[in-house]
Amino acid sequence: MSNLKYADITEKIIGASFEVHKFLGNGFQEVIYQRALAYEMGQAKLEFAREIEQHIYYKDLPEPIGTRRADFVVENKILVEIKAVIQLEDVHLAQALNYLKAYRLEVGLLINFGSKSLTFKRLVM
């Protein structure tokens, strides 16, 4: 058993992502993978919100300074950001880490469906 925070949930998300990539392969737009992943996460009995407006927080300010749409927030705990690019770049990682910080979430997954093999990074604040 893994001692990573929310490992049980992230393992289900990653499993669902592999299922999507196995079926669709690479070459589609992000939205296609997003819809397929929504289906697979539903099959895995994961509770999630897709494309919802998330508040962006700054430092200790109690009020948000803006909003941004997250691809998924799973179980109200995990940010899932989807890409469909040939390879993940540092900018994608920085963006996902910034979203984690701004949304005040601790754990995130950056998942790339655009390469021959599914790639993902687990992010922790």
Q: What is the pLDDT of residues 92-116, one digit of tens each?
A: 999 899 888 888 899 999 999 999 9
> How high does pLDDT run on average in the chain?
93
Q: Is the pTM of this model over 0.75?
A: yes
Q: Where are the domains of the chain?
A: 7-124
Supply 48's token pair. Answer: 């999630």
Class of the CATH-defined domain 7-124? alpha beta
